[in-house]
Structure 1
Amino acid sequence: MKILYVINKSTDGGVVSTTRSRINAFRKKGIEAEVFFLYRGDGAKMFKNIRHYHSNRVKDFQERVTRGNYDCIIFVYSLNYMKHLPSSYKGKKVYELRGWTTGAEKQVSKKNISKSVDAIICIAHYIVPLVRPYFREDIPIFVDGNTVDSLFYYINDAKKVWKETPKPQKDHAVIAFVGRITTQKNWKEFIKIFRNIESEHQVEAWFVSNPKTSSDLQELHETCKKNHVNYKVIHVPNENMPEVYSTIADSGGCVLSTSIREGLGNSILEPMACQCPVVSSDKPGKNEIISHQFNGMLYELGNIKKGTGCVEKLLTDASFRHTIIKNALSTIQRNYNQDVYVDRYLDIVSRI
């Protein structure tokens, strides 16, 4: 089997890193997969060992499809180029939703779109009823979650090689925010929870974010300085995130995900694979990964007191923390390892 992903831009974010992880999983089973990006972004470096293309010329896209001999073409979020598929292409056409956004809703609202695809694949169960009304009943919708790349695992200090890996202050636990500093990621709620914790514990806040995609970065700096928050902003190459997650874990801290919405967040799965516990807002997608007090902690969005209590439980109860970490690793191995993902995907394709 040979697959082509069609993605708008090679941004430094979840869509691109998830695609990289999937392709690496396919390779282990002898399946070829390539990516056609319409525009170049910061995330292109993730594909240095994967065949990929950048062009927004229709002719280039059509030539790639004609020469590629693909069995399946997967359009991620955007369907703008589906109409440009050459008539000679006889393979499967799949539309993939890795979250439910305003842009995705606009895409599926376009007329006659349901006549163009053979199937829809959603990254999480909560998306299915949202997308179903826009497509004919005979168009199948499948759910296919993420896989965690094998590069994500706990790394002790002796094996860390990234010279820029940050270090926390002595005896300080790190509470980490991972992702773009934007309204959707709800960084203001993170600061409210962190300030409660900071008043009782020795902690520091790490904002692991790309400044180029963080529209609220300046406001974050102003807010933290105004409230005397002990913080730092760090831009970490994706391949070095395991060392950062491991450092956070070693500090006795955790990842705190306060986002308003997610697809099926890498920022939940990847720290779990690195033995770094996660506290998250109880939102669709994220609560399909985390079972409260089993493999992580969930709190109701906006409930600052509950969010604070969840983080403090992980900071102060060593036995509970160990159990959460152990169960999180089991969850990754059972549901999100590469072999499980590929077998699940091949089963879906066989039914299209």
Structure 2
Amino acid sequence: MMKVLFVFYVPGGGVETLNRQRWKALKKAGITSHFLYMREGSGMKNVKNMTVFITNHNQRIKDILTKHQYDAVVICSDHTFIQRLKSMGYKGKIIYEIQGLGGYKQARRWLTNARSILLHHADAMMFPETPHIVQLTKTILPEKKTFIFNNCLDTESFTYRPLPPPKCPVISWVGRLEKNKNWRYFLRICKGLIQKQRDMKIWMFIDDQLSPEKEDFLKMIKGLKLQSNLTLYTNIPHEQMPDYYSMTGDSGGFLCSTSLSEGSPYCVQEAMSCKCPVLATDSDGVQIFITHNVTGKLVPDDKPLHAIQEGQELLTNQTLRKKIITRAHRLVQTKFSLDQYGRQFKMMLKQL
């Protein structure tokens, strides 16, 4: 049985979700996967049955490598770790995974800085079908072998759950309170929708450990007078999120994703699996999931009046709403399955 180690900075956000999902996918495909994080994070509460290491000490990492003799190590985002890995005497395959590098300019700068290390020390790169990442890797690292396949989701367990919904529409939002997640834009959209329908509720799910702009957020809530509409959920266990997505959809509301840039946003994928329609800013990676008015709604990230109009249509046009929910649910079940991810990952290892 092949054995793979995945490396990332911290157990939190989309990568932590991805690691739990692909652990299931690779187990089904006959591949053992372990996970190394360099520091503690809120996502550790979600970990069950997986082998997870928390350390940033070279000797401890070297001991782990020596004991487990991994066939491959997948390093997510942190290209400098490749040099550390080499200095520890690791001789197996090294795969660099691109996730969460931000928008075009930020990702271009990051990959340009990483080019020399990746060119000389990585055996391959892997990443989801994010348009600007596909383009940048072709331009900056055309020589490097690349594997493109989308992040998976266990749609059998993370799926719609029939529960009593709130009596008024809910607009939900998931993320960190930081610039790229564009939470200010979300609040402006909510304010505009509430002016049309005052009993609307706002559910926001945040990671309290990774939200540097929380004070500004609380001030803006007061300034827009949204306190009575808002419920703030912090660090909800991932296994409970299908309940909230399902209730959001059944309430007649939707998930609103307002990021400036995303690679492959899990909250969009998860909501679709739970029959919750999605309105999202056109943050590049979200195009993997959403075709406008087919599997969701896409809006610009700086035109709140337009976003409010689109949100209002998603709330009131029941024919369109039902079609979007049905198509999105079918897309997630067929294109992002554990079985497909396992097959693609196994094929990648065989080709290296």
TM-score, normalised to structure 2's length? 0.90
In structure 2, the partner of 1:157 is 163
The whole-number CA distance in structure 1 between the counterparts of 2:109 and 2:159 is 35
In structure 1, the partner of 2:98 is 97
Classify 1:58/1:107 alpha carbon distance in 2 versus 1 (closer, same or farther; 3 Å): farther
Q: How do residues 2-151 of structure 1 correspond to structure 2 at under 5 angstroms?
A: 2-10=3-11, 12-85=12-85, 89-101=90-102, 102=106, 105-106=109-110, 109-110=113-114, 112-113=116-117, 114-126=119-131, 127-135=133-141, 137-150=142-155, 151=157
The whole-number CA distance in structure 1 between the counterparts of 2:347 and 2:307 is 39
Gaps of 5+ in 1: 159-166
The residue identity in structure 1 corresponding to 2:125 is I
Q: How do residues 256-271 of structure 1 correspond to structure 2 at under 5 angstroms?
A: 256-271=256-271
The whole-number CA distance in structure 2 between the counterparts of 1:212 and 1:138 is 39
The residue identity in structure 2 corresponding to 1:139 is K
The whole-number CA distance in structure 2 between the counterparts of 1:346 and 1:191 is 43
Kept in 2: contact 1:154–1:274 (CA 8 A):
yes
Q: How do residues 205-220 of structure 1 correspond to structure 2 at under 5 angstroms?
A: 205-220=202-217
The residue identity in structure 1 corresponding to 2:150 is G
DSSP 3-state at the match of 2:97? strand
Gaps of 5+ in 2: none
DSSP 3-state at the match of 1:306? helix
The residue identity in structure 1 corresponding to 2:174 is V
The residue identity in structure 1 corresponding to 2:325 is I
The whole-number CA distance in structure 1 between the counterparts of 2:248 and 2:115 is 48
The whole-number CA distance in structure 1 between the counterparts of 2:108 and 2:45 is 26
The residue identity in structure 1 corresponding to 2:195 is S
* Identical pairs, percent: 27
CA shift for structure 1 position 143: 1.5
Kept in 1: contact 2:169–2:253 (CA 8 A):
yes
Kept in 2: contact 1:297–1:310 (CA 8 A):
yes
The residue identity in structure 2 corresponding to 1:175 is I
User: Which of 168, 187, 193 is the aligned partner of 1:191?
Assistant: 187
CA shift for structure 1 position 232: 1.8
The whole-number CA distance in structure 2 between the counterparts of 1:225 and 1:88 is 55
CA shift for structure 1 position 132: 4.0
Kept in 1: contact 2:28–2:342 (CA 8 A):
no
Kept in 2: contact 1:66–1:88 (CA 8 A):
no
In structure 1, the partner of 2:220 is 223
Classify 1:283/1:92 alpha carbon distance in 2 versus 1 (closer, same or farther; 3 Å): same
DSSP 3-state at the match of 1:175? strand
Kept in 2: contact 1:98–1:124 (CA 8 A):
no
**Does 2:299 correspond to 1:299?**
yes
TM-score, normalised to structure 1's length? 0.90
The residue identity in structure 1 corresponding to 2:175 is G
Larger RCO (CA under 8 A, 6+ residues apart): 2
DSSP 3-state at the match of 1:33? strand
Count of residue pairs brought into register by the alignment: 340
The whole-number CA distance in structure 1 between the counterparts of 2:81 and 2:61 is 8
CA shift for structure 1 position 213: 1.4
The residue identity in structure 2 corresponding to 1:275 is K
The residue identity in structure 2 corresponding to 1:97 is I
DSSP 3-state at the match of 1:60? helix
The whole-number CA distance in structure 1 between the counterparts of 2:333 and 2:321 is 19
Kept in 2: contact 1:128–1:141 (CA 8 A):
no
Kept in 2: contact 1:206–1:231 (CA 8 A):
yes
